[in-house]
Chains A and B, each alone.
Chain A
Amino acid sequence: MYKYIFTWLLFSFSSSLLVAQGVIIEGKLTSPDSISLSGVNVIIHPQKNTESIIAYGFSDENGNFRISVNHNDDSISVSIKSMQSADTVLYLRNLSQKLDIPLGAKDHLLNEARVSARPIYRKGDTTVYSVQAFALKQDFSIGDVIKKMPGFDVDDNGRISYQGQNIQKYYIEGLDLLGSGYTIANNNLPHASVSSVEILHDHQPIKAIDGIISSSNTSLNIKLKHNVAVTGRAQAGAGFSPLLWDINLTPMLFSKSQQAIGSWQSNNVGNNIGAQHRINAIISGSIDGATTMKSDFVAIPNISLPPVAQNKYLDNEANLTTYNHLVKLSPATELKINGSYYHDNIDEESYMSTSYFTQDSVISICEHQKNLLHRNSLITNLGLTQNTESRYLFNKVSFGRFWDADNAQISNGAKQNIKAILPHTTIANTFDMLIPIKSVFLRVESVVDYNDYSQSLVFTPGVFITNNDLEQQVSNQNFITTNKLSFSFPIKSFQFGSSLGVDYEKQKNKTSVLVEGIPNAVDSLSNSLEWQKTDMYIREDIEYRRNDFIFKVGLPLQYSKIDIIDKIHGASNNMNCWFFKPSAFIQYKPTGSLTGSLAANYSKILENINNLLVGNIIVNHRLTRSNQARVSFSKSAYLLAGITYQNPANGFFADIKWTTSNSKKELMLNQISQGNGLFIYKYERKDGTTKVNNLSSEVSLYMNSLKTTIGAKGEFTRNDMEYLSAGQSETMKRQMFAITPKALFSFSKHFSLSYSYRLAKTKTYIANSYSTFFNQKHKFDIYLYIANNHLIGIESELYYTRKTGLSTSQTLFSNISYSFKPSNSRINLKLECRNLLNTSRIAQIHQSDITLLYTEYYLRPRQFLLTAMWSLGIRKK
C-alpha cells in the first residue's frame, strides 16, 4: 500500500536486556533539504499487526517528537505519515532510542471520496431539496416538510429562516403573490402538490441591479408537481356569552401562470381585523396602503382607550372580505389585483368625570358616553411590475371609498346625541423605477394622490347657537404629488446619497354650519380657504464607516412657494421660504462590549396650512375652535447621548441614555371658558416653548446557576410647557419618575414564570399648585408546557391608580387558556376563558394643562371561547 517503504533494521549495541516498560521513542523529522517537519503523525504499531495502534504522537514546530511506548513485544513498527512527505515505516527494537529521520518529499495522494446520491444538490446559486426525501407520513403541509430540511427553521409565526437568516421572498413557481404573508401558503399548501423546494442564494429580486448590488439574502421557491393546486385554511370558534363567533375561511389557488387567494373573516370576540384592511401588508412585501389612508376632519368625542390588550375591551362585530389575484403576463411582467371590503360595528362605553381649571374657577362635568362606530369601506389596487435586466418598473393605481359613520350618546342629566358622517374617496397612482447606470443606480419615485372628504357632525339637540338640530359641515379636497430622483455612490469608506425632489400640493377647504338644514351665513361660522404649495429640495446624505466607528450626516435643503386664497377671512398670502433640516449621528464601539452614540438634529417646519381656518368650527358639544390668519412656523432641536455596556459572558447588561429637546411654536392655543361647561379655543400669535428632558437607564443580570434574570429600569422625565388660559401665559411643569423591576425564571423547560412591576409617580405643577399621581402595574404570567402538544397559560395583570386626595382605583385581570394540537393531525384546538374574574371597568386618570380627566372604560365581560383551526385541501397522491 505504501509507495515508498524504507526499511531500517536497527539493533541495539547494548546486549543488556531491558524491561520493555517505560520505552521512549524520540527523534527529529526533516525534509530532504534538512528543514524540520512539524505536524507529522508518528504511529507505533506491534510489528506483527500494523493495523493496531500502541501509541502515537506528532512532531512539533522543530520537527521533534517524543512518544512513550508501553508494549511487551521485542520489536515494534513505526509509521510516519503526513500530507507533504512520503510515508515511512521503520521496524525497531522495542527500546528507548533517539532517531534522526529524513523523510522523502512527496505530496500525499488524497483519496478523494464522497457520499453519493444526496437528496440535496446545488446547481449554481440554487440549492434544490427533494420534497419526497424529507416528507414523513404525518406531514400535511409543505411547511411541515421544510421544517425538517437541513438548514431550515420555521418559527411560531410560520416565518422561515434559512441558515439563520429570514428568507426574503417566498415564491410559488417564481410568483410572489403573498409577500410577507406567505405563512398562510406555507402552512396550508399540501406537500403532495410540491415536487421540490429551491433555495435561491444571493438572490436579487430586482433584476436591474442584479450583479451591481449583490445581496446576501436568500429566497425560497416552491416548485409545483401539478399544474394547479387548490388549498386553504379554515378556523372556527364559538363561545358565550352573548353568542360569540370567530370565523376565518381562506381558499387559495396556485398555478404556474396565475395565483389567487381569497378570505372571509368574521368575529365579535375582539380581534381587530380592520388593521388588515387598512394596510395591505398581505399583498406584497412593500409598504402599501399609504395612499388610501384616511384622516378625518371631524369626529365624535373621543373615549380614551384603556392601556390593556385590545381584545379585553374591543366590542366589535367585524366582517372582512379580501381577494388577491396575480397573473403573469410575460416572463418579466406581473399584474396584481387586490380588493378588500370591511364592515364593522364597534361599541364603546365609558363614564368620565372632567375637571377644568380656569383662571378663577374649577368646572366639573360628569358624563356617561356610549359610542357606536360604524365602519364600512372598500379598497382596491391594481399593480403592474416589470422586472428586467435593464430596468425595474412598478406602477399601481389605488382606489378607496369609505362610508364610515359614528354616533355618540352622551348623558349628563340632559341627553346629547352627536352623529359624525365621515365619507372619503381617494384615488392614487404610485410609480417607481430603477435604472442601473454602471455601478450607480438611479431611482425615480412618483406619487399622485387625490382625496375628497365631505364630512359633517350633527348635534341633536343643537349646541352653542341653537337648540334645534345643528350640523357642522367640513369639506376638503386635496391633490398631492411627490416626485423624487435619487442615486448613491461609494468613494472609499464614504457613501454618498443624493436626492432631488419636487412636491406639489393643492387643497380646498370649506366649512359651514346648518341649523335645521338651513345654512347659517354668518362669516364667523364659515370658511373657504384654498392654497397651493410647491416644494423643491435637494438632499445629500454622507456616511462614513470603519470597523468601530460610524458617522452619518444628512443635509436637506428645501425651497417652498406658497399661495393662499381666503375668500371669507383675511388669511390670503403669497410667500417663499427656505428650510434647512440638518442631522448628524456618531457611533463609536471601542470594544466588543461598549458602544457610545450621539445624535443631533435641528428643524424648522411650516405648520399645517389648514390651520388657517379663521371661522369657528364646532368641534364637539362643548367646544368651538378658531385660528389665526397667519402662516406659522415651528423650530425644534433634539440631542441624544447614550452608552451601552454588555458583558453577556457574565450575564450583565447596562445602558444609560439622555435626550433633550426644545421646540418653539409661533401660535399658542388660548383656552377660554364660557362658564356653563362651554369652551372656545382660539389660536393666538404668541411664542410658546416646550422643553423635554429624559434620562433613562436599564440594568439586568442573568444568573446562570439559577437560570434567572433580574433587572430594573428607571426613568426620569421633566417636561416644561407653556400654554394659554384665558389669555394668560402659564407654564406647566411635569416630573415623571418610573421604576420597573422585573424577574424572569426559566429553570425548567416545562414552565416559565415571569413577573414585572412598574411604579410611576407624576408630579404636575400648574400655576401655583401641584398634584401627584401614582400608577402601579403588576404583571404575572405562567406558562406550563405539558408534553409537546399541550400548553396552559395563565396571565394576570393588576393595575392601581391613585391621585393624592382621591381614593385608589384597582383593576385585576386574568386570562386562562389551554391549547392542544393532536399529533399527526391537521387540527389545532384552543379553549380560553377571557377575563376570568369578570372585571367590568378599568379606571384611568389623565391630566393636561387645564383638565383633569377620570375615565372608567367598560370592558368585555367574562367569556368562554373554543376555537378549532384546520387546513383545507386534498392530499393528492
Chain B
Amino acid sequence: MIGSEIVTGLTIGAGYSLLAVGVVLVYTSTRVLSLALGEMGAFGFYLGVKFNLHGVPLLGWHLSAFEAGITAILVGALLGLLVERFIMRPLTARPGIDKLIVTLGVALVLALVELNFISFDPYPAPPFLGSGHFVLLGATLTTSRIAELVAAAAAAVVLYLILNRTKLGLATRATTSDPTVARLLGVKVNNVYRFAWVTAGGLAGLAGALVSNTNGVLLPFSLTTALLSSLAGAVVGGLDSLGGAIAGCLLLGVVQNLAQPYGIAYESGITLVIVLVVLLVRPQGVFGRSSAF
C-alpha cells in the first residue's frame, strides 16, 4: 500500500519536475527566476483546446487532442522566444526583483487573457495521449501520469547531454559562470538566453498539456499553481542544480501524496513548512551551490 502511494507520489513529482527543469535552465543561464513558465505552458494548451472544441478561427478545422498538445508545446516555445527577446533582454542590467516581477506580469497577462478572452468557464482537458490505465507496483496510473514520468526523465537526460556534451552546452555553462567573460570569449550569450527560454517554454507547454490532463480541467493559474510546487521542489533541491531540483520535486510529490488523505490544506501546509525550513537551514537547497540571486 505504502509502495503504491510512493509510486503515485513519484509520478506527481515527475510532473512538477517537468516545469522545474525549465525553471532551473532559465535560472542557471540567465539568473532569472521565472514565475511565468506555468502560465506560458497553460496558454498554449488553452489555445489548443479552444481549437479542438471550436475549430481554428477562419480556417475552421478542428484540432485533435494530440494536435492540441503539440500546439501547447509550440506556443510555449514561441512565448519563450518572445518573452526573452522583448521583455527579458532589455532588462538584463536591472535588479533581480524587477525581472522576477516582470515574469509575474507575464503570468498575470496570460491568465487574464485566458479568463477574459478564451474561456470564462474551466475548460475540459482532452486526453492528450489517449486515456488508459497502467498498474505499476500496485499503483494505478493514467496515461498522462506515465507520460509525465517519461517526459520528465527524457527532458532531464537530453538536457544533461546537451549541457555536458555539446558546444551549446559549453556556451551555456560558461554563461552561467560569468556572462561577461563568456562574451569576451566570443559566446553569443543572447543565443544562450534564447535557447534557455525557448526550451523552457516548450517544456512548459508539454507540462501544461500533461498536467491539465491529469487534473482533468484547465483553469487560469492552474499551471501556475503546479509551477509553485515545481519551484518549491527546486528550492528544496537547489535552484542551480538540475538533478537537485528533480530530486526535490520527486520528494515533494511523495510527501504531498502521503499527506493527501488528511486534506488539501495538509498537502500545501507541509510544502510550506518544508520550503521555509530549507530556506532557513540551507538557503541554496540540498544540492545547490550558490544562494545568491
Do A and B pair up? The answer is: no
- A residues contacting B by CB (< 8 A) are none
